A = this chain, B = another copy of it.
Amino acid sequence: MNELLRYFSRELPAINDFLETEADQLNGLVKEVAKHIIGSGGKRIRPMLTLLFARAHGYEKDDYHAIACSLELLHSATLLHDDYLDDAELRRGKEASHLKFGRTETILAGDALLALANEMGARYGNARLSWLLAKGIMETAVGEIEEIQFSKNPELDRERYMEIIIGKTARLIECACRCGAALAGATPEEEDLAGEYGLNLGIAFQLVDDALDYASPTSETGKPEGGDLKEGKVTLPLILLMEDSNEAESRELLDALKTTDLEEERFEAILGRVKEGRYSEKTREEAAMYVEKAKRCLDGFTPGEEVEVLKQAADFVLTRTK
């Protein structure tokens, strides 16, 4: 992981500075909200992927920040609206924006960040970049809606679950990778490979996120263990448990998921069954398949620092504990 860490520590400061400078230019009513969500410690995986694919395709200029950071801002915009609509109390271990700043400030900050992201992507006068970004914004909006619409359905199946995580997470990561390739003027085939890497990485990323929810102490993720279950959100660990349950167990589980205020005892019992069946680990194993798929997309690339970092990034997605 040496190359990955070295690359990130070399490139992240400029990305963070750029995000900070852009946020500083927002209107006073929403600036603090934007800075709060941007500063709350995201992994900057989207801007880094744009940069990595631009460089991997031979792009040498230093004007990549606007398009790279646009995807981070778009992501932040959806977090603001999602947390508000979910009545979430925490985001990355900090007080959620709508509680700290108010609903008007939070919704408008989401709108402003989305608009800013879009404007940043348009700065290049590159129709392909604008198109990719517009498509990414559209897919993210649809994914956000489908998540809210379906993810709390106790009868969610694996197919719909995959649709949800692709829409809410993987498409934007795909978009980040495609934007890097497009900025460098890659061929459509090269851009497609970058996109496929991103799509698979994004799926793995969300699978691991959903696995961590059942297997990681609060202090690491900033979220309480079993938080998804408590919210009635169905993710792969629960779907796997459901698939392995007999009829009586299924009925009991469905019933528990439909209960809005789940008692501690039943909650712990379900957590226990998820642990016993190793469903969090099995979710990670599923993620590992997607990580392999992502890495295979890099096979045809000329070896170099960026390709090495992209491989290590894929592995890191799998091994991260928060």
Q: What are some 25 contacts across the A-B interface (CB < 8 A)?
A: A27-B145, A28-B149, A29-B149, A85-B104, A85-B108, A108-B144, A108-B145, A111-B114, A111-B145, A112-B141, A114-B137, A115-B137, A115-B138, A115-B142, A116-B141, A118-B118, A119-B135, A119-B138, A121-B134, A122-B135, A125-B127, A125-B128, A126-B127, A127-B130, A130-B131
Given contacts A85-B103, A85-B104, A104-B85, contact A134 B130 (CB under 8 A): yes
Is A111 touching B27 in the complex (CB atoms < 8 A)? no
Chain B residues with Cβ below 8 Å from A178 are none
Task: Report the separation of the CA atoms of residues A60 and B84 in the bound assembly, to the nearest whole angstrom.
Answer: 46
Chain B residues with CB below 8 A from A146, complex form? 27
Which residues does chain B contribute within 8 Å of A110, judged by CB atoms? 111
In Å, the complex CA distance between A140 and B114 comes to: 12
Asked if A317 CB lies within 8 Å of chain B CBs, one says no
B112 touches A148 (CB 8 A): no
Contact (Cβ within 8 A) A145 B29 = yes
CA distance A133 to B134 in the complex (A): 11
State the A residues within 8 Å of B (CB).
Answer: 27-30, 81, 84-85, 103-104, 107-108, 110-112, 114-116, 118-119, 121-128, 130-131, 133-135, 137-138, 140-142, 144-146, 148-149
How far does the Cβ of A132 sit from chain B's closest Cβ, in whole Å? 9
Q: Can you name the residue of chain B whose Cβ is closest to the Cβ of A104?
A: B85
Q: Are the CB atoms of A119 and B145 closer together than 8 Å?
A: no
Q: Which 5 A-B pairs have the closest CB atoms?
A: A130-B130, A122-B134, A115-B141, A127-B127, A115-B138
Query: Do the beta carbons of B127 and A140 come within 8 Å of each other?
Result: no
Chain B residues with CB under 8 Å of A125's CB are 127-128, 131
**A119 neighbours in B (Cβ, 8 Å):** 134-135, 137-138
Q: Is the CB of A27 within 8 A of B127?
A: no
Looking across the interface, which residue of chain B has its beta carbon closest to that of A74? B115
* A141 in contact with B111 (CB, 8 Å): yes
Q: Distance in Å from the Cβ of A63 to the closest Cβ of chain B?
A: 15
Which residues of the other chain, B, contact A149 by a CB distance below 8 angstroms? 27-29
Contact residues in B for A144 (Cβ distance below 8 Å): 108, 111
Tell me, rounded to whole Å, the shortest Cβ–Cβ distance linking A319 to chain B. 34
| B108–A148 CB distance below 8 A | yes
Residues in chain B near residue A29, CB distance under 8 A: 145, 148-149
